[in-house]
Homo-oligomer: A and B are copies of this chain.
């Protein structure tokens, strides 16, 4: 069996120092536990709730930081792309291109990402059924994409709330793509804090456990040394010093369902 994959990092690239610290600690923990680790941070948060929200360092500076982490620390990196123009520079640096959930139906973005030959991590839109993600997979494959991963990150459930429908995991694995569970965005309360999004951090653990048991290929987590001070998505981030215990528990469950 494949080892679990973990995509993790701070939501946004707040500083190179923070990024290196998280990447380094995660690399060490995952090495110890036998988990494949990919560092994730956004160079630009393109759809924050408010104009005043922190967005990140931008494409050029962000890719430079990610490139140095990749080269100097030997950690694979992933980040999200928001328009066709970002794809070429991003593909020069990133190991995996990620399509944000809101953009999962934007044909040109998917085609351009697939055409780079890089693996593409396609997040399921909050407004899309798991069955319908096959249309997204077909767009990527139709454009030559061969390495496609799909991400569950919750579905719209009334207003300002998401629900994780665990049926989505086996459904999307049925498209012959590795399926990743995004444990931290899944506990967001979109717009639930007025001018920003809230989150219910206490559900990261039970939902992660449930997803691993249902059957997945990897996890996605936002990790921060001090979530209450994170410039983005703090309410739904995991403390860096809590992650090893959680991963250890998840590996026990993974072993229980794969052996």
* A2 within 8 Å of B (CB atoms): no
Find out whether the CB atom of A50 lies under 8 angstroms from the CB atom of B157: no
Question: What 7 A-B pairs have minimum CB-CB distances, sorted nearest first?
Answer: A158-B158, A213-B213, A129-B159, A210-B210, A132-B191, A156-B156, A47-B105
- Interface stretch of the complex, out of A8-16, A63-71, A160-168: A160-168
A192 → B minimal CB distance (Å): 9
Find out whether the CB atom of A161 lies under 8 angstroms from the CB atom of B159: yes
Instruction: Point out the residues of chain B lying under 8 angstroms from A155, CB to CB.
Output: 156, 159, 163
In the assembly, how many copies of this chain are there? 4
The answer to whether A139 and B215 touch (CB under 8 A), given A165-B164, A170-B203, A256-B252, is: no
The answer to whether A129 and B253 touch (CB under 8 A), given A50-B138, A157-B165, is: no
A111 → B minimal CB distance (Å): 8
Taken together as a complex, chains A and B put the C-alpha atoms of A128 and B197 apart, in Å, by 12
Find out whether the CB atom of A49 lies under 8 angstroms from the CB atom of B167: no
Chain A interface residue bracket vs B: 35 or more
A247 → B minimal CB distance (Å): 13
A214 → B minimal CB distance (Å): 4
Find out whether the CB atom of A132 lies under 8 angstroms from the CB atom of B160: yes
User: Looking at the complex, which one of B49, B206, B256 makes contact with A169 (CB distance below 8 Å)?
Assistant: B206
Instruction: Point out the residues of chain B lying under 8 angstroms from A99, CB to CB.
Output: none
User: Looking at the complex, which one of B47, B165, B166, B257 makes contact with A107 (CB distance below 8 Å)?
Assistant: B47
User: Looking at the complex, which one of B102, B142, B156, B212 makes contact with A106 (CB distance below 8 Å)?
Assistant: B102
